């Protein structure tokens, strides 16, 4: 067995052993443990767990890969996800925490005094969460297939088994403490290679500063200027000025990610694991620091990965390397099927250009960039192994949070809250575990048949949350008059118009290639791409809700009093443990 494989087994299975040990130690003994970790997590611990829950395979694996290929245009992910977190922490989480209900459907059911509203929210939550989890499952498969040299499918099965063990056994309590460990693993795995590569390319060990530094070769040329020269020589768009469509699309994409982020239930649930509203606010501050540690490094990782890739495959235009002499990392990723070369002109050399007719790199999956980057840069094997463990930690931590959100929405909100309100706690806990087990199997199926690279699928999930859940939460907190009929109509309209637009242009999510109105970019509404359409869906949601409100009676006085109560700075203690 080679050295890299030994290091990888130690890193990956060592961290898995840690997760299992934590799950056994922190197993849930009650529904309060299973759904909200008993409400006894400290703000510092919760901030770290939120960081892991937040930074999914999309953040760890896909975001820097997207920035590597999209350049400046990829910054929408940084701006949208970070801005959305601030929006969630300031405008939603403290008020929902004060109300004291630990799931999003439960809050909306209470605020809009309607079981129908709760059911509609459950549907919206499941649609968004299932779409989001596909990206996590693909991240698990990609990481395993390369580093353990197993088939993608086999890697996915191993990942499912790991999540099954600690999420089903521990619930929110087990997931919380596992996510703290996963945060430490993923942030270490992300920053150490970035420090190595930044120092190697620019002589500056701080990646955030290295991105804006001159190259270490003494030429005096800035890294980004050189990268612009390299990519434009080969016909690609200039790295530092590229856009995702027009300016309106960039704005809509950022807004969709931002408000979708604030509406994702698996992160909102984390704020119910602390003992008070004050602790929830402190958690938000800690989490922002922990998230920033990765998000400020991502642009440097993306740019340096693209620079290394271009210089390794094609050192200069017209100076192509022989395919027979391709580096070892190239051969390793070819075996996974995520990198593919086709010798179109028969000269035995690798030609990598923007022209599809002559480009011989027929597949360079964006998701491989972060995982391949240390190998491309010839970093030590232990660093490469660490990245594998980090990628898996990122994917597994978010998958567990999403599975808990799906499980609680069915067992707690649908069954206990609506269909069988007399269910005892022991039965509800067992049902929660059964539903989570089924969810893992379903997520695994979707991971075996993914509809696109991880962050693209995730962007769609954010759009669905943006168009359905976020407006209902905002109106529930900041409008004393919004009624049940308006909220329900808004959610249905927002989710419906967004899914219709997505199906029209991308095809039905789980059936590749299907499209009933044609998916041409020329047909996009105002140039807005399907992944960015959640912002438009949210506007539709707000508009429909207020139109319906104008033609019906406002919310009753006791609901207006409820809104006043959870927006008031007083009375925190009385509401803090009202589960």
The tokens describing 271, both together, are 């704020």
- In the predicted structure, residue 549 carries a pLDDT above the cut 90: yes
pLDDT tens sequence across 231-273? 888 888 888 888 777 788 889 989 998 998 888 777 777 787 7
Clarify whether residues 133 and 192 are in a common domain: yes
Clarify whether residues 124 and 253 are in a common domain: yes
Mean pLDDT for the chain overall: 82
Clarify whether residues 285 and 386 are in a common domain: yes
Q: Which domain holds residue 335?
A: 307-374
Clarify whether residues 403 and 445 are in a common domain: yes
pLDDT above 70: percentage of residues in the chain: 89
- In the predicted structure, residue 303 carries a pLDDT above the cut 80: yes
Clarify whether residues 392 and 370 are in a common domain: no
**Three-class SS of 51-65:** HHHHCCHHHHHHHHH
Q: CA 519 to CA 239: how far, in whole Å?
A: 27
User: Which residue, 374, 392, 417, sits at the end of a domain?
Assistant: 374
User: Which residue, 357, 374, 391, sits at the end of a domain?
Assistant: 374
Clarify whether residues 400 and 424 are in a common domain: yes
Label residue 521 by pLDDT band (50, 70, 90). Answer: low
* DSSP H or E segment with residue 364: strand 363-364
Clarify whether residues 424 and 328 are in a common domain: no
pLDDT, position 1 = 56
Q: CA 242 to CA 302: how far, in whole Å?
A: 14
pLDDT tens sequence across 384-439? 888 888 888 877 777 777 887 888 888 878 888 888 888 887 888 788 888 888 88
The tokens describing 466, both together, are 């943006």
Q: Using alpha carbons only, how large is the chain's radius of gyration in Å?
A: 24
Query: Who's near 46: CB < 8 A, 6+ residues apart?
Result: 176, 270, 271, 273, 274, 279, 283, 286, 287
The tokens describing 297, both together, are 């490094």
Clarify whether residues 527 and 463 are in a common domain: yes
Clarify whether residues 197 and 123 are in a common domain: yes
Q: Residues 403, 133: contact at Cβ < 8 Å?
A: yes
Q: CA 333 to CA 152: how far, in whole Å?
A: 12
**Domain count within the chain:** 2
Clarify whether residues 324 and 368 are in a common domain: yes
Clarify whether residues 313 and 412 are in a common domain: no
User: Which residue, 340, 374, 408, sits at the end of a domain?
Assistant: 374
pTM above 0.85? no
pLDDT tens sequence across 322-364? 888 888 888 888 887 788 888 888 888 888 888 888 888 888 8
pLDDT tens sequence across 60-114? 877 888 888 888 888 888 888 888 888 888 888 888 888 877 678 888 999 999 8
Clarify whether residues 51 and 162 are in a common domain: yes
Domain of 472, CATH number, reads 1.20.1730.10
Label residue 451 by pLDDT band (50, 70, 90). Answer: low
Among 9-13, 22-26, 57-61, 517-521, the minimum mean pLDDT is found in 517-521
- In the predicted structure, residue 514 carries a pLDDT above the cut 60: no
């Amino acid at each position: 067995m080679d050295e890299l494989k030994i290091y990888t087994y130690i890193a990956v299975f060592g961290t898995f052993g840690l997760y299992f040990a934590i799950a056994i130690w922190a197993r849930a003994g009650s529904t309060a443990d299973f759904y909200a970790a008993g409400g006894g997590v400290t703000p510092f611990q919760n901030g770290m767990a939120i960081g892991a829950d937040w930074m999914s395979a999309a953040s760890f694996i896909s975001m820097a890969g997207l920035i590597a290929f999209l350049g400046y245009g990829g910054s929408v992910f940084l701006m949208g996800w970070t801005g959305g977190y601030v929006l969630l922490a300031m405008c939603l989480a403290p008020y929902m925490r004060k109300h004291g209900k630990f799931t999003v459907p439960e809050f909306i059911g209470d605020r809009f005094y309607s079981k129908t509203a709760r059911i509609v929210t459950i549907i919206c939550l499941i649609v968004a969460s299932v779409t989001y989890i596909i990206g996590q499952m693909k991240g698990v498969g990609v990481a395993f297939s390369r580093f353990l040299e197993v088939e993608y499918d086999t890697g996915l099965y191993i990942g499912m088994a790991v999540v099954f063990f600690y999420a089903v056994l521990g619930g929110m309590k087990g997931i919380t403490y596992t996510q703290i460990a996963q945060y430490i693993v993923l942030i270490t795995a992300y920053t150490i290679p970035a420090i190595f590569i930044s120092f190697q390319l620019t002589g500056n060990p701080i990646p955030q500063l290295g991105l804006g530094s001159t190259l270490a070769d003494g030429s005096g040329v800035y890294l980004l200027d050189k990268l612009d020269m390299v990519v434009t020589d080969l016909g690609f768009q200039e790295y530092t000025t590229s856009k995702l469509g027009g300016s309106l699309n960039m704005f809509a994409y950022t807004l969709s990610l931002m408000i979708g982020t604030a509406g994702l239930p698996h992160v909102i649930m984390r704020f119910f694991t602390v003992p008070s509203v004050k602790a929830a606010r402190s958690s938000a501050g800690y989490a922002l620091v922990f998230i920033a540690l990765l998000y400020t490094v991502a642009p440097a990782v993306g740019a340096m990965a693209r620079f290394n890739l271009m210089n390794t495959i094609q050192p200069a235009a017209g100076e192509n390397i022989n395919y027979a002499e391709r580096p070892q990392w190239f051969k390793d990723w070819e075996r996974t099927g995520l990198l593919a070369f086709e010798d179109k002109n028969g000269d035995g050399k690798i030609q990598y250009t923007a022209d599809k007719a002559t480009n011989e790199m027929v597949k360079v999956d964006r998701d491989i960039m972060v995982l391949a980057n240390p190998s491309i840069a010839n970093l030590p094997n232990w660093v490469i192994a660490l990245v594998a463990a980090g990628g898996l930690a990122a994917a597994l931590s978010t998958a567990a949070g999403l599975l808990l959100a799906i499980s609680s929405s069915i067992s707690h909100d649908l069954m206990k809250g609506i269909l069988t309100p007399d269910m005892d706690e022991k039965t509800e806990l067992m049902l929660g575990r059964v539903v989570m087990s089924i969810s893992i199997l379903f997520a695994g199926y979707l991971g075996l048949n993914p509809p696109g690279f991880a962050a693209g699928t995730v962007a769609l999930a954010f759009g669905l949350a943006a168009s359905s859940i976020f407006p209902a939460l905002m109106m529930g907190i900041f409008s004393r008059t919004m009624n049940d009929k308006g909220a329900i109509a808004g959610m249905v309209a927002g989710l419906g118009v967004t899914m219709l637009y997505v199906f029209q242009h991308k095809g039905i999510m789980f059936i590749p290639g299907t499209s009933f109105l044609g998916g041409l970019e020329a047909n996009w509404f105002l140039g807005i791409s399907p992944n960015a359409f959640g912002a438009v869906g949210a506007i539709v949601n707000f508009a429909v809700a207020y139109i319906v409100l104008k033609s019906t009676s406002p919310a009753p006085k006791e609901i207006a009093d409820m809104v006043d109560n959870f927006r008031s700075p007083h009375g925190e203690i009385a509401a803090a443990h009202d589960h």
